[in-house]
Amino acid sequence: MYEADLRATAGRTMAGRVGAGANTRLPELYRTMRRIRTFEERVGELFVRGQSAGSMLHLSIGEESAAAGVCAHLRDGDSFTTHHRGHGIFLARGADPARMMAEIGGKEAGYCHGKGGSMHIADMGLGHLGANAIVGGGIPAVVGAGLSARHHKTGAVSVAFFGDGATGQGILYESMNMAALWGLPCVFVCINNQYGMGTNIAQATANPNLHERAAAFGLAAETVDGLDVEAVAEAAERLVEGARAGKPAFLAVSCYRFYGHARKDKSPYRDPVEEEAGRRQDPVAFARAALIDRGLESESELDRLDGEIGAEMDATIDFTVAQTEPPLASMFRDVYAPEEPEPEPVRARIDRVLARD
């Protein structure tokens, strides 16, 4: 299945887009993708330096076009949820990479004060309703956000980002059915990187044409090749604007997970030949070549940009390493609302039980 995808894109060039340069968003899309790529590389470094909180770090290298292409059409007030491989999506929506990295390091200065970590980063201010470590766990929230938008007439859309693995979860179908039934401003974006841990999509479903399922529920549904960020952005524009107008949508972005599932996985279950071919489906390299081919940027300009981004992301590691762990007492904070009493520590309860005069 994946082989066929590869053959279909192998001979493609950027020729079709030559001349379409004037008002292209490609430079911005490239910058977003490069920032994601570099950030994820630094997450890998943080792990190697023993400065990450655990090893359950899922890099989105190879799938940057989904984050950049879709988020290019989100605006203030829109909301979204992500799966466990969500760093790139959040960056594309304007996250501060230093606070993200600090969260990944389990530090107090992180977005969630070291409580969430890589799999649970969120920032309500940016419409990020939360990254999720339960496969499919974040999907139905966008139905609720769609109800809110309709009720308050905000014109906002809500986007669920999830992996191909989540298409095994019934909750996706329950959510899409509700969104279609009620005409809610929801978009379901499936980042199909071909794998759920060690399981290839072809080993997880008898029909890998994922958009057909969404179409069956009555959503506008497309599959797009994630190699080409402009194609992703174009499809996203159609579908996001359609959703704003009350036609919920599904978009599958085909891509390849370049590295292991999490930091300790070396993907022994993948054929090296397939892996090499998969890594050639590089949306960042593809966009870079297109910028140069179309005369939109010179190689040296891009080198300079890449260098700036490298420095920006290096600084996130320095920042994280310098930060402190959350204070122990903070573990009782935010179980309930701040005005409510905190849970009583076990030690305090034992003290009371054993109090002697």
Partner 1 sequence: MALQELTYRDALRKALADAMTENPDVVILGEEVGRYGGAYGVTKDLIKEFGAERVIDTPISEPAIVGAAVGAAMTGLRPVAELMYVDFIGMTMDQLANQAAKIRYMFGGQIGVPMVLRTQGGTGRSAGAQHSQSLEAYVMHTPGLRLAMPATVADAYHLLRMALTKPDPVVFIEHKALYTMKETVDLDAEPLAWGKAAVRREGRDLVIVTYSRQLHYCLEAARQLSARGVEATVIDIRTLNPLDFDTIRAHVERTGRAMVVSEGVMTAGVAAELSARITEECFDFLEDPVVRVAGEDIPISVSTALEAGSVPGPQLIADTALRMLAGRVPA
Ligand X SMILES: Cc1ncc(C[n+]2csc(CCOP(=O)(O)OP(=O)(O)O)c2C)c(N)n1
Contact footprint for partner 1 (CB under 8 A): 53-56, 106-107, 114-120, 132-137, 165-170, 196-199, 203-205, 269, 325-326, 328, 330-332, 335, 343-347, 349-350, 353-354, 356
Q: Does 63 bind Mg ion (CB under 5 A)?
A: no
Indicate the residue among 184 and 255 with the shorter CB distance to Mg ion.
255
Q: Does 73 sit near ligand X (CB under 6 A)?
A: no
Letter for the amino acid at 90?
Answer: F
Binding residue for ligand X, selected from 6, 147, 197, 215, defined by CB under 6 A? 197
Which residue's beta carbon is nearest to the bound ligand X? Answer: 163
Contact status: 84 vs ligand X (CB under 6 A): yes
Using CB under 6 A as the binding rule, whether residue 97 contacts ligand X is answered as: no
Given the rule CB under 5 A, which of 105-113, 185-193, 209-217, 283-291 is the region that contacts Mg ion? 185-193
Separation of first and last alpha carbons in the chain? 75
83 binds, among Mg ion, ligand X, partner 1, none (CB under 5 to 8 A by kind): ligand X
Partner whose binding site includes residue 58, from Mg ion, partner 1, ligand X, none (CB under 5 to 8 Å by kind) = ligand X
Closest among 234, 236, 190 to 213, alpha carbons compared: 190
Shortest distance, position 207 Cβ to partner 1, whole Å? 12
For residue 192, give the nearest of 147, 257, 102 by alpha carbon: 257
- Residues making up the chain, counted from first to last: 357
Residue in this structure with the two tokens 């968003």, named with its chain if needed? 25
* Least distance (Å) between residue 132 CB and ligand X: 8
292 binds, among Mg ion, partner 1, ligand X, none (CB under 5 to 8 A by kind): none
Binding site for Mg ion (CB under 5 A): 163-164, 193, 195-196
Binding site for ligand X (CB under 6 A): 58, 83-85, 133-135, 163-166, 193, 195-197, 257, 261
